[in-house]
Each structure stands twice: as structure tokens, then as C-alpha cells.
């Protein structure tokens, strides 16, 4: 019996960020997280904020202390990888991502990809 595979999408702005990461361990952690989300869906992510059909979540790493941030569209169960950041900047990043989600609702953006394409 095979489980459902969830769709995980790396947004363009994060794709550019990945291309600049030189530390192989960081890249491996990111890719393992993507695989984990594809297998486990929301169970792989710590939920931080819910707004309508969207969830802002994170996957934590202790060593090194980094966070991978993801926005989940509950309607179509797509996972959008949006940020990789050191724990020290955690609250600042969460606030920025929540602001982007609020902006999306106020301006009527229908697709998360539009929000993170620049």
C-alpha cells in the first residue's frame, strides 16, 4: 500500500537562494525536508499561523540551528518552500512571511507563486 505523495514547490525567490548556498550540509537538510514533506504532508511541519486556506509552517533543525519555512495551501495540498534562515532571525522571518500572506489576501493574489516570484 502506497501513501499519498504531496506536491512540494520551491518558489523562484527561494530557488535563487538555494543556488547561493555553498554549505553541502545545509543543502542536504533542505532536500531531506522536501522529501519528508512529500511523504508526510502537514505532519512534517510545525504549524505557526493559519490564514484562510493557507498555513505558515516550519521544519526545525537543531544542529545547525536553522529553519525551513513553508506555506501550505490546504485547498490543493501544495507545499511552497519559501525561506531558509538561521534561528536567530526566526521571529523576524515569521513576521515577514505573515505580512506577505496578509498582503496576498488584501490585494487578491490568487497564487502563492506570484507572491514569491520576485
Q: What is the mean pLDDT of each run of 10 residues along the chain (118 residues)?
A: 77 91 94 94 94 91 94 90 94 92 73 70
Architecture of domain 7-115: 2-Layer Sandwich (3.30)
Distant-in-sequence, close-in-space partners of 64: CB < 8 Å, separation ≥ 6: 25, 26, 86
**Residue 117 φ then ψ, to 5°:** -85, -15
Q: How many residues does the chain have?
A: 118
Please report the pLDDT score of residue 1 as a whole number.
39
Quote the DSSP letter at residue 52. T
Amino acid at each position: 500500500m502506497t501513501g499519498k505523495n504531496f506536491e512540494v514547490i520551491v518558489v523562484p525567490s527561494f530557488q535563487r537562494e538555494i543556488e547561493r548556498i555553498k554549505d553541502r550540509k545545509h543543502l542536504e537538510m533542505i532536500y531531506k525536508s522536501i522529501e519528508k514533506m512529500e511523504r508526510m504532508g502537514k505532519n512534517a511541519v510545525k504549524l505557526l499561523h493559519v490564514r484562510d486556506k493557507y498555513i505558515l509552517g516550519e521544519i526545525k533543525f537543531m544542529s545547525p540551528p536553522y529553519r525551513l519555512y513553508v506555506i501550505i495551501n490546504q485547498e490543493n495540498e501544495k507545499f511552497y518552500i519559501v525561506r531558509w534562515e538561521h534561528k536567530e532571525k526566526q521571529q523576524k522571518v515569521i513576521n515577514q512571511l505573515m505580512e506577505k500572506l496578509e498582503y496576498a489576501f488584501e490585494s487578491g493574489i490568487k497564487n502563492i507563486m506570484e507572491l514569491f516570484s520576485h
